[in-house]
Amino acid sequence: MQLVLASSSPRRRDLLARLGCVPDRIAAPAIDESPHRGERPRAYALRLAIEKARAVARAPGEVVIAGDTTIALGNRILPPAETEGVQRHLLGLLSGRRHHALSAVCVIAPDGTERTRLSATIVAFRPLSTAEIDAYVACGEGLGKAGGYAIQGRAEAFVRFIHGSHSGVIGLPLTETRALLRAAGLPLA
């Protein structure tokens, strides 16, 4: 049985390695990640994980895994920080507040069965000064990331508390992922 990771994210590849999984193939899906009008954050994260998994061609005997991590402030889906200006704005919104990191996983088994799980983690940032936000933006670490930060890096110092899956905030909730891969027939310990 072969494992296909439907993601070019090095973080997801590293997180899979923590489960003892090395993808046999990596295929970056090309999908439109725009939220639908009125779409709620949980539904959005699950939809993207499913669409990413379905977008990758699957050969006989292959298991496909895809994930999506969405940062939500209330019912507002925060975009990835594509520019430094957007990143500054996102960090300003998150400063001193709680938000949800929603990490969805979809696994398609060799027989075509799709299984999904969603991990919802509460993350609270301490208040951030303009200088702290500027310094973080300057380091380049959160550019392109959901919500404009990478919890596995310097932004971990912003976290006042976290309730839920740390690996889910990074990009792949390991407990849920392990269960899905085992259900698809991968021999994990």
Domains belonging to the chain, first-starting first, are 2-183 (3.90.950.10)
Average pLDDT of 170-177? Answer: 96
Q: What percent of the chain has pLDDT over 90?
A: 96
Q: Are β-strands 2-5 and 25-26 bridged in parallel, bridged antiparallel, or unpaired?
A: parallel
Spot the catalytic one: 14, 24, 32, 68.
68
Cα–Cα distances (Å) from 54 to 43, 50, 142, in that order, read 16, 6, 28
User: What is the rounded average pLDDT for all residues in the chain?
Assistant: 96
What is the per-residue pLDDT for 116?
A: 98
Q: Is residue 136 over pLDDT 80? A: yes
111 is catalytic: no
What is the per-residue pLDDT for 21?
A: 93
Cα(85)–Cα(91) distance, rounded to whole angstroms?
Answer: 10
Are the CB atoms for 121 and 92 separated by under 8 Å? no
Query: Given pLDDT bands bounded at 50, 70 and 90, which one contains residue 8?
Result: confident
**Hey, which residues does 68 pair with through a beta bridge?**
104
- Name the nearest CA neighbour of 151 among 71, 76, 68: 71
